[in-house]
Amino acid sequence: MKQISGKEFARLLQQKGWELKRTNGSHHIFAKSGRIERISVPVHGNKPLKLGLLRHQMKIAGISETDL
């Protein structure tokens, strides 16, 4: 699986219709209308997200590996 940074993942979420609701420190909180889930993306410069976190957030957001 390709590793991407939090900044790139946040951009991908916005392309998929998720809205940035607030920022708490370096964590960007995304929500989508009609869904109860929230996605918290740690944006620490260009450091890649860990694979377990990335897979879990992709599952919640409905993003596949081909979208990366």
The domain limits of the chain are: 6-63
pLDDT in tens, the chain (68 residues): 899 999 999 999 999 999 999 999 999 999 999 999 999 999 998 999 999 999 999 999 999 999 88
So what's the pLDDT on residue 1?
86
Q: In CATH, what is the architecture of 6-63? A: 2-Layer Sandwich (3.30)
Give the pTM: 0.92
Three-state DSSP at 41 gives strand
